[in-house]
Structure 1
């Protein structure tokens, strides 16, 4: 039985803690804030409740696996999972719209043909078949196995089987999402649908590798899910599972250093000056925080994937509305920007401020737990903004509300009040500089979108969560917890779940 210190109570860190406790280790979690869940927070006021982090859950099998491996009660006995249908509604810049069915290829093809014209659905359906090939080629190395020592194989190999395209007497194959849109989808609206999955992470589709096609494929193949009461309920359930397995939590306790001896961790130092011994330390923190904790010591060796600093954050506006949620309302509506180039320039840093008319995601859960009564509605608006000082401030909230009026006619007449969550609030919750959000690991692009291994140069120190392999997103956080637990319990020979 080893003593294990876990730094941070984010979802990946708690997933690792629960698994390690079940394996017989003594696990203590040190969290600098007063609560658990990392980005999965909740805001409550006047009987309204809102998720301030992710609002939907892809690939719930990851969390089902955690609950199966750590106790008798399955996930569905701890939270109420609801499959969202339609998966999303899209309002395009030209005024057309489409509701995309959840996890139904035939349904998606029919809906796109009806909304966008004959042939649109078939082109999208054919794209999903190719995206499935990319998923099959990268699923294990990017999600289920520790990062390969020869990670350059993933960095150099493009997994997406692009269709040959003749251009200027040459045969070309799409290497980016933007090129997939232009050469394979051949419709600005289908391109917007594709690129929205990259934009949600602050990725510029013009230089995002074609293998990012796995992002819409994951949603299509495994469905989109909601947790009744909000996704904060998932964080609660994972925290309670940790407690039931004997994990100790110390909230309001900041770790200020990781101590070592003879090339191996020896424990952690706390802000109050005390020290705690540990044979293993699991750090669920952003790269800059980890650098401070090790005092400049080398964490990554030469030739390893370097730590990735995020370039995008999220601006969130919480709306308390009078009036009932209309029957048949889509849970999620994406209002696409009318100025794609301006939005991409803002995200890439070439524009001086966030886009004036960004792509906005509107979440309208059908959930009585979130409202004071049936005559009110709780709505959440989100847009991606650059992760840099001054970007995505409260003054930009009006731009999101204006965009959302396309999805909610009469919105301003119904508005009781609104709250804004800026990148600074994200930084406060997660510790990531400027509120940066980590992206999921993706192949190709020279390894630019890979994340560092869960192991480090310092013996006994492991990293977990969105800033290490396999990157950002709720499924990825749960997978990182499983990988770290496997590496500690089984040792360096661990090769992932089978």
Structure 2
């Protein structure tokens, strides 16, 4: 039985802790805050409840696997998991609306044809076929296996089979999501639909590689799910599974250093000066903090560099009077009138004159998140800069006004219904998670010279491992859950571990 020290109690760290405890190891989790879950948090006030992190759960099979492997109770026995239908409603700049059914390619094709005109559904359906090919080519190396030592193969090869595009005397293939929208979808609204999946992960569609096509495919193929009571309930269930399997949690325990002995990680040093010895250390922290904990770069030449994320999320929590209309969509995306002027990517410093952003509105039909049926809770969010300037009250006010204006097509009676609102900025996310300025880590993506890959779960310091959204395979609930499985496999089985089969 090995002693394992885990730094942080984010979802990836929890997933690793539960699996390692079941394998017979003694696991102690040191979390600097007073709770678990990382970015998966909840805000409560006056009987209203809100998810301040992820509000939906894609690819629940990752978490089903965790619960099967760590105990007799399946995931559905621990949380109430339901499919969201329609998967989303989209409101485009020209006023067009379309509701997309959940996990139904044929249904989506029909809905797009009816809303956007004949041929739109076929073009989207053909795109999904190509996106599936990209998914099939990258699923194992980017989700189910430790990062390949020759990761450059993933960096150089574009897995998305782009359609040849003739322009003047040249034939080109789309290399970014924006080019896919312009050259293959050939409709501003379809292009906006595609780009909304990138924005949801904090990615700039102008630079996100064509391989990001796997993001809409993942949702269309495996569906969109909601956890009754909010996604925070998933974090609670994983935490309780850890406790049931003997994982020890020490909250308010800030790790200030990784202890080395005989050339390998041998424990962690805490803020009070004490040392917790360990045979392995699992770090669920961002690259900047990990470097400060070790006092040196955790990687060598030829390893995937840790590219800093520059975007976070600005979120408004809305307490509304009046009940939710019976057929309201759980998720509505209100698209920006100018796709090229998303504030996080195009606004000048200070966001003066920032254009209206694309916003996502979550309106769960969940009695647990409202005081009674005469009220409703809603969450509105948009991509925002992670630049450390969110203590500026005037900036927060400007962003609040931007989102309240942008959300009106989804909530036209907002002014009459709004009881109060609370802003949750990237600055709040930084306090909760420790991520640089509240930045959001995107899922790992192939191509683009490796700029969208993440550092391996192993480091050049034997016994020190990385877990969570800042390591392979990147951010998002499915990916952090899989990172926990990969780290557990590497510790239990050793370097020969090759992932799930």
TM-score bracket, normalised by the shorter chain, equals over 0.9
Q: Does the CA-based 8 Å contact 1:394-1:422 persist in structure 2?
A: no
Equivalent position SS for 1:38: coil
1:206-252 deviations in Å (ceiling 9; x for gaps): 22111100000000000000000000000000000000000000001
The TM-score, its normalising length taken from structure 1, stands at 0.98
Question: How many equivalent pairs are there?
Answer: 495
- The separation in 2 between residues aligned to 1:13 and 1:308, in whole angstroms, is 21
Q: Report matched runs for 1:377-392 at 5 Å.
A: 377-390=376-389
After alignment, is 197-206 or 207-216 more displaced? 197-206
Q: Report deviation, 1:350.
A: 6.2
Equivalent position SS for 2:349: coil
**1:450 and 2:457 correspond:** no
Q: Does the CA-based 8 Å contact 1:142-1:442 persist in structure 2?
A: yes
**1:347 and 2:347 correspond:** no
Q: Does the CA-based 8 Å contact 1:201-1:312 persist in structure 2?
A: no
- The separation in 2 between residues aligned to 1:89 and 1:167, in whole angstroms, is 34
Q: Report deviation, 1:342.
A: 1.7
- The separation in 1 between residues aligned to 2:276 and 2:475, in whole angstroms, is 29
In structure 1, what is the equivalent of residue 91 of structure 2? 91
Equivalent position SS for 1:372: coil
Choose from 436, 444, 465 the match for 1:441.
Answer: 444
Choose from 476, 482, 486 the match for 1:483.
Answer: 486
- The separation in 1 between residues aligned to 2:412 and 2:217, in whole angstroms, is 31
Q: Report matched runs for 1:136-175 at 5 Å.
A: 136-175=136-175
Q: Report matched runs for 1:244-283 at 5 Å.
A: 244-283=244-283
Q: Report deviation, 1:401.
A: 1.1
In structure 2, what is the equivalent of residue 397 of structure 1? 400
- The separation in 1 between residues aligned to 2:341 and 2:34, in whole angstroms, is 39
Q: Does the CA-based 8 Å contact 2:318-2:421 persist in structure 1?
A: yes
- The separation in 1 between residues aligned to 2:170 and 2:40, in whole angstroms, is 48
In structure 2, what is the equivalent of residue 417 of structure 1? 420
Equivalent position SS for 1:6: strand
Q: Report matched runs for 1:297-376 at 5 Å.
A: 297-343=296-342, 346-348=343-345, 351-354=348-351, 355-376=354-375
In structure 2, what is the equivalent of residue 463 of structure 1? 466
After alignment, is 360-369 or 347-356 more displaced? 347-356
Q: Report deviation, 1:90.
A: 0.4
In structure 2, what is the equivalent of residue 119 of structure 1? 119
- The separation in 1 between residues aligned to 2:274 and 2:174, in whole angstroms, is 55
After alignment, is 196-205 or 358-367 more displaced? 196-205
Q: Report deviation, 1:386.
A: 1.1
Q: Report deviation, 1:394.
A: 4.2
1:123-171 deviations in Å (ceiling 9; x for gaps): 0000000000000000000000000000000000000001111111222
Q: Report deviation, 1:432.
A: 0.7
Q: Report deviation, 1:259.
A: 0.5
- The separation in 2 between residues aligned to 1:263 and 1:308, in whole angstroms, is 27
Q: Does the CA-based 8 Å contact 1:308-1:467 persist in structure 2?
A: no
Aligned-residue Cα RMSD (Å) equals 1.0
The TM-score, its normalising length taken from structure 2, stands at 0.98
- The separation in 1 between residues aligned to 2:471 and 2:413, in whole angstroms, is 43
1:373-403 deviations in Å (ceiling 9; x for gaps): 0100000000110111225634311211111
- The separation in 2 between residues aligned to 1:29 and 1:85, in whole angstroms, is 37
Q: Report matched runs for 1:57-76 at 5 Å.
A: 57-76=57-76
Q: Report deviation, 1:444.
A: 0.2
- The separation in 2 between residues aligned to 1:2 and 1:394, in whole angstroms, is 51
- The separation in 2 between residues aligned to 1:93 and 1:347, in whole angstroms, is 19
- The separation in 1 between residues aligned to 2:324 and 2:478, in whole angstroms, is 29
Equivalent position SS for 1:393: helix
**1:233 and 2:233 correspond:** yes
After alignment, is 223-232 or 406-415 more displaced? 406-415
Q: Report deviation, 1:42.
A: 0.4
1:266-291 deviations in Å (ceiling 9; x for gaps): 11011111111000000000111111
After alignment, is 218-227 or 285-294 more displaced? 285-294
1:354-377 deviations in Å (ceiling 9; x for gaps): 433011100000000100101000
Q: Does the CA-based 8 Å contact 2:341-2:347 persist in structure 1?
A: no
In structure 2, what is the equivalent of residue 203 of structure 1? 203
- The separation in 1 between residues aligned to 2:44 and 2:123, in whole angstroms, is 43
In structure 2, what is the equivalent of residue 24 of structure 1? 24
Q: Report deviation, 1:13.
A: 0.1
- The separation in 2 between residues aligned to 1:229 and 1:235, in whole angstroms, is 11
Q: Report deviation, 1:188.
A: 0.1
